[in-house]
């Protein structure tokens, strides 16, 4: 039985749904330290599982490990360069350390991949305002409001 389990694991390129649910449960319950350790193991076992890297980036940011979060986000982007949410996460991570140009670029990429992403427009508008680009900021923030009146 042990050999069968090892063979199945070798053939599986992604963790089980139970493992994915554990990641989500730990994060949703704000158990970020335990989530970090758990997701690190997942990414070691399944290095091409992009959601693991994406989750790790968010969790590391929550744990104040910004440089590591940027690295994890970059790995997720490398594996799946078409996910706008990962660029959005990266933009938030860069913003946390006041790398406004990098943050701006990340939000712009998220919007390029999903033109109906109000959160990305909102955050980009904030960045543009801080960069002194008030006309662009207003236009971008209006787009966020157009997409979601809560903004």
- pLDDT tens by residue, 23-72: 999 999 999 999 999 999 999 999 999 999 999 999 999 999 999 999 99
For 47, left (φ over 0), alpha (ψ -120 to 50), or beta? alpha
Question: The pTM is what?
Answer: 0.87
Spatial contact of 124 and 105, defined as CB atoms under 8 Å apart: no
Q: Is pLDDT above 80 for 9?
A: no
Q: Which residues contact 60 (CB under 8 A, 6 or more apart)?
A: 36, 66, 68, 69, 72
Q: Is pLDDT above 70 for 73?
A: yes
Q: Is pLDDT above 80 for 2?
A: no
Phi, psi at residue 148, to the nearest 5°? -150, 110
Q: Is pLDDT above 50 for 6?
A: no
> Token digits for 25?
């449960």
**Alpha helices for the chain (secondary structure H):** 2-11, 17-28, 32-45, 50-62, 66-79, 84-96, 100-113, 118-130, 134-147
Q: SS3 string of 37-65?
A: HHHHHHHHHCCCCHHHHHHHHHHHHHCCC
User: How many other C-beta atoms lie within 10 A of the C-beta of residue 114?
Assistant: 17
């Amino acid at each position: 039985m042990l050999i069968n389990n090892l063979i199945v694991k070798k053939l599986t390129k992604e963790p089980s749904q139970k493992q994915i649910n554990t990641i989500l449960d730990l994060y949703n319950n704000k158990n970020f330290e335990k989530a970090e350790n758990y997701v690190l193991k997942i990414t070691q076992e399944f290095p091409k599982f992009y959601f693991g890297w994406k989750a790790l980036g968010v969790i590391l940011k929550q744990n104040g490990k910004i440089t590591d979060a940027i690295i994890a986000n970059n790995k997720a982007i490398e594996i799946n360069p078409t996910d706008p949410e990962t660029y959005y996460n990266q933009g938030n991570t860069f913003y946390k350390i006041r790398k406004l140009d990098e943050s701006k670029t990340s939000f712009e990429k998220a919007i390029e991949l999903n033109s109906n992403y109000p959160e990305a427009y909102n955050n980009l508008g904030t960045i543009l305002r801080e960069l002194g680009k008030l006309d662009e900021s207003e236009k971008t923030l209006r787009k966020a409001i157009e997409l979601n009146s809560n903004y």
